[in-house]
Amino acid sequence: GSVGQWGYDILIQGSSYVYVHDITLTNSWGDGLLVRAINYDNGSVTPAIGVTLNRVTSSNNHRNGLTICPSNQVYVVNSTFTDNNGTGPQAGIDIEPQTQGKTSQVRIENSVLSSNAGNGLEIHNNVNGVSIYNVTAQHNKGYGVFTDGPTNVSITHSNLSQNYLFGVDIAGLTDYVTIADNDITYNG
């Protein structure tokens, strides 16, 4: 592409029980991988349900490494999201259902979010239940983890270091956050 931000290596849209594993996604014009609902423009929302991403490497995509929109039970494990850049938000992972619907029960585990032009991980409103466990978010030009309105967020046993801004920024109307047993060092 040359304009806009659409074009994905993989699009999972309104699908259930999807397993993506052992794959490298690079150089897409939008997101390396997008998980979202279908039919949300006409008021009828069918979210993606039961999506597992295991050993996924997503890098140098024009928008985000992974974007999660309306969905339920998304599990990201043993994966890497690096060097995503081009057009905002330029995050490793962006959970952004906002007005499209709701996202719930997301777990990110044993994964790396590094050297992105934006945040390592950002989580917006209409999100309930995000568990971040044993995640490395470092060398991002934004925050390691940024929240703006989700509920029930847990960040544990993670390394959030050497990000240009804070290691963790809890903002907006974010509620019920646990931050425990992490290494949060040398952030801007």
Rg, C-alpha atoms of the chain: 15
What does the pLDDT read at residue 99? 83
pLDDT bin (cut points 50, 70, 90) of residue 41 is: low
Strand-by-strand arrangement of the 145-148 sheet: 10-13, 33-36, 66-68, 93-95, 121-124, 145-148, 168-171
Cα separation of 49 and 74, whole Å?
Answer: 7
Quick check: 2 pLDDT over 80?
no
- pTM value > 0.85: yes
Average pLDDT for 160-186: 97
Compute the distance between CA of residue 43 and CA of residue 73 in angstroms, rounded to an integer.
Answer: 22
Enter the tokens of residue 90.
């330029």
Contacts with 182 (C-beta within 8 Å, 6 or more apart), sequence order: 155, 156, 157, 158, 159, 160, 167
Residue pLDDT, tens place only, 12-21: 999 999 999 9
pLDDT in tens, 79-115: 999 999 999 999 999 999 978 889 999 999 999 999 9
| Cα 105–Cα 80–Cα 128 angle in degrees, nearest 5 | 15
Contact between 15 and 39 (Cβ < 8 Å):
no
